[in-house]
Structures are given as structure tokens and as C-alpha cells.
Amino acid sequence: MTHMSYKFEIENLNAWFGSKHVLNNISIKIREKAVTAVIGPSGCGKTTLIRCLNRMHEIVPNARVSGKVLFNGIDIYNEDADPVQIRRKMGMVFQKPNPFPMMSIYDNVAAGLKLNGIRDKKRLDEVVERSLKMAILWDEVKDDMDKSGASLSGGQQQRLCIARALAVEPEVMLMDEPCSALDPIATAKIETLIRMLAEDYTVVIVTHNMQQAARVSDFTAFLYLGELIEYGSTKDLFENPKNELTEKYITGQFG
Amino acid sequence: MAHYTVRKIVDRSMRILAYFALIAALIPLFSILGEVILKGASSINIDFLTQPSPTVGEAGGGVANAIQGTLITVGLASLIGVPLGLVSGIFLSEYSEAKISSPIRFFNDVLSGFPSIVVGIFSYALIVRAIGFSVTAAAFALAIIMTPIVTRTTEEAMKLVPATVREAAIALGVPLWRTIVSVVLSGAKKGIATGILLALARIAGESAPVLVTMGYWRWWFAGLNQPAANLTLNIYIFAISPFENWQALAWGSALVLVMFILGINIIVRAATREKYK
Amino acid sequence: MSRLIDLGLEQLASMIFRMGELAYKTVSLSLESYIEGTNAYAQVQDLSEVLVVMADETEDKAFELIARFQPVASDLRILKSYMKIAYDFERYGRYALDVSQVQNRLGGLEQCERWIHESVREMSEKVLNMVRTSVDSLKSHDVILAKSLSETEKQVDDMYFKYLDKLVEKAPATNRCTISSVLVVRYLERIADHATYIGESIVYLATGEKIKIR
């Protein structure tokens, strides 16, 4: 197996909400062009972890971070680092699909570009089409691009959000329980999409559904009460976990 | 079985009560509208809309100068009140937790409850004393009345935009200021426009502060440091006058004012309607 | 905390323990009758058929649990191991039947030299013990006991090859004894191998380690 490099090298990451210590000394290396799942019971800090990767954690009042997150080798929490630039390199998809309600499907996908000053219609058309194709939504909406983003079904809305994130050509896709609000068929479509995305992007997905983590990911990290308990290839972790707590969690003996 | 019948009766009676309440609430609106239209319609003719106010004893005349004056005064007030209110409202909404926000909100609420005559006198003391009765003084007073309304409604409208929309934009790498301006404001524009409209309607109809800062003016607009004619004052002056043609003008002015307010309503509604289904 | 899958796992466990006991009984019966010269062919045949059916049922049950519960980690390892072990128990029955068939066709050790009797008896006892050990260590998931099969298997192999050497050297009076005993010790050696496979599955199930006990 050829040497795969690490997209993220997280060193001693700590995070707080006010005085509440939600992430405790997390150190982990995320492989590039692979799907890494983060699992754990509610409140274990998995959402906080990925929000630290694109510096979204700190926008909440009283939120604080310490430690290093090396992205492509450079610490994103460096004093000179610009959070806006960092976020442009990472696409984020949230638990509840959130297309911009007052914009059409076309405008939704183009939003990331338009809001950054790109006006060239031809280029926007290209990007919108390409992104919707990547998100496996193009065929379903190509004749209705002017309809409101909110007029789509839940699964379609989530794919729209994925297309919107892909349009700015990020290097990483961060997904926070993207299928929680969706029915099984929509979930299956998105899981297939995630595996396809892994060929070109580094994907980090938070999920509370262990079977989903087992299906979709190459590597899995298990968090509990803000600490990293175990991290390894999905195959090994689900067949023969090294930590007893991991074993208990994935066999459903707690949580 | 008996319980169900009782429930049905209660349900029915409540419904009827609700309809009555609705009608009762609408009666004042329609009766005023009706009265104004009836009495004022006869005054509307081309002269009415193009001639300035008549002097004592003069026949005919119109309220053209009053329309002009009202537009200029309200316009000037909006130039101050709308931006100020917008910025304050945006600040209070986006920095809701900041220590300074609570006091600002409090003072805003207090200010919006001030009697308008008091605001008028304040403007009198500040501006009329300095440059005399003027459009400037009137606009200043109206701006003070307008700002808290715009602030509050802007804040409410902005807060209605769900946090998830902001998050999505920020995660896309859109800077915060751009997010607020292009995404959140755009989502809140209907509410904000409604708020501005409410404020406009309020100040277009104010009479007391205009009275103490401008007084009655019979001629065309003559500069910002001079008074100007005003529809509400016209109604006041003409209605209590003994001249019939003046009284007719009063009704006509009332009609114009009402139509003006109605017109703004309709335009704003149309402009901010949902473009998509 | 009791989970949905626990009931199924318990049922599967009791199926496989029963199968183990039955397999031991079958092997014991078959070897005893070969050495003593008694006839137990019909019985051994019945028992071995039952073992085939039980192996199928066990496999079905394990697959049902996989389909319904998507088990992972230790649960998954148990299912994988039990399926393998069920097959090994079925093999015990198969080889026991093979021994009885040889006896049926070519006769037992009645007419054979003393040394042949002794060698086959010694080897049978050892192998029967291994079968016993494999069943017992399964019941308790006893890794140490399972690993002990390694030592015994070496001994059985040793005995097997020594017997073959002796046969070549001593060339007994009748072909019948040679052929019959050669076939039977071959089956004994295979039974011993399967006992070690069972041992390996037990180690995997308990620790996740994949080792070779040979």
C-alpha cells in the first residue's frame, strides 16, 4: 500500500464552552482521500471535534480552543491564520439540511461563489452543473433550477447542501450526522455519494449510527466524554477493538 | 354523548364570538376609510393636486404644496431614521449577547414610548432655537420617533432568520459582515420593509411634533431652514376653519394621506413577495 | 444489559454444546467398537446423520443472527467461530462413521498382532481425549486448555508416523489388518487435526487472535 499522507494532524486539541471542557487532549491524524468516521454516545464531543477543524467552534460566544490542528502541515490556529480562508477549503454539511430559504436551487449552489464576488455567468453555470452532478442531484433538478431550495424533499435538500459545499472546491468535506433527518432510501443515496467523494476529497463524518460508520468509513475514531478512546481502521475496530470501552459501545452494551 | 353535544355547542359559540370580534375590530378601519373616501373624493380634482393652499377668502386651491412638503419632511426624516434604525437593529440582533445590548434595547423601548409632543419640544429647544421653525427641525423630531420603531422591527426580523442559515454561510467561508448583509438581511427583508413602512406611516401622520417645529406654511418648499407645508397640519388648520372650501380641502388632504399610506403598503408587499413557491 | 442478540447467542451456544457432546459420543462409540470388536455400525451411522443436520441448523441460526443484528466485535467473532466449530464437529462424526465403515467392510483388530492392537488403542485413547478437551474448552471458552491441544497433536502425529514406519518394517501376516489399521489411524490423525482447528477457533473467539495450534 502506497504511503498516504495525513490531511489533518491534530495535536493536544482541547475545547471549551465557557468552563465546560468538552474536548480533552485529542491527538489524531486524519488520512487524506479517505472517509474517517467519528462515533460515540451523545455529548462525547464528536460534533465539537469536527467544528474545530474548520474553526466553526469559536464563533459561538464563550467558546475556546487550545492546541494545534495542522492542515496540510500548517496550524490553522496560528495567529496569522485567516479563519475565512480556512473555511473556504472545507465544505460542511449539517444535521438538518439548511439550504438558503430565499434562494433558488441555482443560487443556492452558486452562493459560495457569488458571495465571494464571482459574477461570470458562464463560470457559475459550469460550477453549478458540475457540483449538482457530483452530488447526484443534477438529473432531478436540471429543469427546475429556479425553484426555491426549500421546495425539495429532505434527501434532495441535503444533496443540495452537499452540492453547495462542493461548489467552492474544498479539499475536505466535514459532515455532521448528515443522514439523521433522512429516511433510509435517502440515507443510502448519500452513503453511496460519500464513498464516491472519498476518491477526491478527505471526508470526516460524525455519526451516531454505528452501522453507518461501519458501512461508509475507512477509519473510525471512538470518542467518549471528550476523550479519544480508540482510533483505527474500520475493519479492525469493528472486528476486534483493542479497548474494552469500544467493545462495549459498539456491541450496544451501553449508550 | 351529552358531553360531546356540549362541546359542539361551546365550539360553535366560540367560533361565532371570534367572527364578531373580527368584525368589531375591522369596523373602525372600514368606517374611517369609508368616511374619508366619501367626504374627500369630491375634493379630488386636478386643481386639488396641483394648486397650493388658498388664502383666506380665496376660492379653489389645492394641497399640492402640502404633498410636496410632507414628502420632503418625511423623506428627510427617513434619511436619518432608516439607516440609524437598520444599523442599530442589525447590531442588536447579531450581537445580542454583548453587554451593551441590553441597555441599548432598554433605551430603545423607552424612546419608542415617548409622547411625540415631547420629542417635538426637544427638537424645538435644539434646532428651532438655533435656526428657527424649519423642515430640518421637523425632520429631526420625526427621525427620533422613527428610529426606535425601525430598530425594534429590524432586530425582530433579523432574529427570525434561523441560525442554521448563518452557519451555512459562514461554513462556506463567507466573512461575517457579508453573511449579515447578503444572506441574513436578504432573508429578513420582508420583515424589515414592513417595519420601515410602519415607521413611515406613523411619522407621515404625526401632527404634534410638526406643529411645534414648523407650524402652518402656505407656500411651496422654500429651503431646509424654512418650514414647509404639511398634510396633517393642513387637516388640522382647514378642518377647524369656518370656510367650506377649506373644510373640503381638509377631507381631501385626509384622503390623500390615507391613500399615500395605503400605497406604500401595497408597493412594499409587492416588492417583497415570495418569488418562489 | 441484555441485548436483542443475546437470546439468539444463547440458543446458538446451547445448540453447539449439544452438538459437541453428541460428536464425542459418536467418536467414542466408533473407536470402542473397532478396538473391542463389537458392532455399533448402525448407531454410529444414525448419530453421524444427526450431526450433519445439526451443523446445517447451527449455520442457519448464525446467519440469521448476522442478518438481523449486524453484529460486530466479539459477537461477530463468536458467530464466525461457532460456524467453523460446527463444521469440525460434523467432521468428527464423519470420521467416526468412516472408522465404522472400515470395520464393517474389512473387520476390526480381532485377528491382528498384539502390537497393532496396542498401538491403535493407545492412539485412540489420546485422540478421544483431544475430542473431549475440544468440547470442554469450548464450553468454558478456556484459551489455555485450547492451546494445550498443540502438545497432544504433536504426540498423535508422532504416533501416526511411527506406526506407519513399523508397519513397513514388520509387514504383518494378513493384508486385512494392515489395510484396516492404516485407514483407521489415518482417520484418527484427521480427528486430531480437527480438534486443533476447534482450539484455534476458541482462541480467536475469546481474544481475536488468529493463531495456528500445530
Interchain pair A253, C1: CB under 8 A? yes
Q: Please state whether at least 3 CB pairs lie below 8 Å between chains C and B.
A: no
Structural domain spans, chain B: 2-41, 48-271
The residue segments making up the domain with residue C33 are 4-207
Dist. CA A111–CA A124, nearest whole Å: 10
Q: pLDDT-derived band of residue C174, with 50, 70 and 90 as boundaries?
A: confident
| Chain B residues close to A102, C-beta within 8 Å | 186-187
The candidate with the shortest Cα–Cα distance to B168, out of A163, A15, A193, is A163
Residue B124 pLDDT exceeds 70: yes
C-alpha cell at position B161: 432568520
Q: What confidence tens digit (pLDDT) does each residue in A155-211 have?
A: 999 999 999 999 999 999 999 999 999 999 999 999 999 999 999 999 999 999 999
> Nearest Cβ partner of A101 from B165, B174, B179?
B165
**DSSP at A58:** G
Residue C154 falls within a domain, yes or no?
yes
**DSSP at B161:** S
Residue B228 pLDDT exceeds 70: yes
Interchain pair C1, A251: CB under 8 A? no
Q: Does C171 contact chain A (CB < 8 Å)?
A: no
> Nearest Cβ partner of A168 from B172, B175, B182?
B172
Rg value, chain A, Cα:
18
Strand ranges (DSSP E) for chain C? Answer: none
Q: Does C25 contact chain A (CB < 8 Å)?
A: no
In this prediction the ipTM stands at 0.91
C-alpha to C-alpha distances, A73 to A10, A68, A77, B81, nearest whole angstrom? 10, 11, 12, 51
Dist. CA A231–CA A1, nearest whole Å: 19
**Exposure string over C15-38, b if 16+ CB within 10 A, otherwise e:** bbeebbebbbbbbebbbebbbeee
A215 to chain C: closest CA residue: C70
Dist. CA B147–CA B142, nearest whole Å: 9
Q: Does A27 contact chain C (CB < 8 Å)?
A: no
| Chain A residues close to B276, C-beta within 8 Å | 104, 146-148, 151
Distance from CA of B250 to the nearest CA of A (A): 44
Residue-averaged pLDDT of chain C: 93
pLDDT of residue B274: 62
Q: What confidence tens digit (pLDDT) does each residue in C47-70 have?
A: 999 999 999 999 999 999 999 899
User: Within 13 Å of residue C110, how many CA atoms lie on the same side as its CB?
Assistant: 10
Give, for A247, the enclosing helix (H) or strand (E).
Answer: helix A244-250
Judge residue A9's burial from the number of C-beta atoms within 10 Å of its C-beta, 0-12 exposed, 13-18 middle, 19 or more buried.
Answer: middle
pLDDT of residue A2: 45
| Chain A residues close to C76, C-beta within 8 Å | 238-239
Most C CBs within 10 Å, among A235, A240, A254, to test the C interface: A240
What is the value of pTM for the model shown?
A: 0.81
A213 to chain C: closest CA residue: C72
Residue C112 pLDDT exceeds 70: yes
Q: pLDDT-derived band of residue B239, with 50, 70 and 90 as boundaries?
A: confident
Enumerate residues 93 to 132 of chain C having a beta carbon within 8 A of any beta carbon in chain A.
Answer: none
Q: Does A1 contact chain C (CB < 8 Å)?
A: no
Enumerate residues 74 to 93 of chain C having a beta carbon within 8 A of any beta carbon in chain A.
Answer: 74-77
Residue C68 falls within a domain, yes or no?
yes
CB C29 within 8 A of CB C54: no
C1 to chain A: closest CA residue: A253
Interchain pair C73, A241: CB under 8 A? yes
Residue A1 pLDDT exceeds 60: no
Q: How many domains does chain C have?
A: 1
Residue C137 falls within a domain, yes or no?
yes
CATH number 1.10.3720.10 given to B48-271: yes
Residue C17 falls within a domain, yes or no?
yes
Segments in B113-134 forming alpha helices (H)? 116-123, 129-131
Lowest mean pLDDT: which of A64-68, B32-36, B107-111, C20-24? B32-36
CATH number where C12 lies = 1.20.58.220
Q: Does C11 contact chain A (CB < 8 Å)?
A: no
CB atoms within 10 A of CB C172: 16
Judge residue A225's burial from the number of C-beta atoms within 10 Å of its C-beta, 0-12 exposed, 13-18 middle, 19 or more buried.
Answer: middle
Q: pLDDT-derived band of residue B276, with 50, 70 and 90 as boundaries?
A: low
pLDDT of residue B1: 62
CB B197 within 8 A of CB B157: no
C-alpha to C-alpha distances, B273 to B38, B182, B193, nearest whole angstrom? 31, 18, 11
pLDDT of residue B56: 64
Dist. CA A118–CA A103, nearest whole Å: 17
Q: pLDDT-derived band of residue B59, with 50, 70 and 90 as boundaries?
A: low
Q: Scanning the structure block, which residue is given the C-alpha cell 420625526?
A: B142
For chain B, how long is the longest CA-to-CA vector? 79
A56 to chain B: closest CA residue: B171
| Chain C residues close to A255, C-beta within 8 Å | none
Dist. CA B69–CA B218, nearest whole Å: 10
DSSP bridge pairs for A203:
A35, A173
Residue C212 falls within a domain, yes or no?
no
pLDDT of residue A161: 96
CB atoms within 10 A of CB A63: 18
C-alpha to C-alpha distances, A158 to A39, A166, B186, B250, C24, nearest whole angstrom? 21, 12, 22, 60, 59
Q: pLDDT-derived band of residue C107, with 50, 70 and 90 as boundaries?
A: confident
Q: What is the pLDDT averaged over residues A1-9?
A: 74
DSSP bridge pairs for A26:
A13
| Chain A residues close to B100, C-beta within 8 Å | none
Rg value, chain C, Cα:
19
| Chain A residues close to C75, C-beta within 8 Å | 251
Residue C213 falls within a domain, yes or no?
no
Interchain pair A104, B276: CB under 8 A? yes
Interchain pair B276, A146: CB under 8 A? yes
Distance from CA of A76 to the nearest CA of B (A): 14
Structural domain spans, chain A: 99-169
Q: What is the pLDDT averaged over residues A94-100?
A: 93
Dist. CA C116–CA C105, nearest whole Å: 19
Q: Scanning the structure block, which residue is given the C-alpha cell 459532515?
A: A175
Interchain pair C73, A250: CB under 8 A? yes
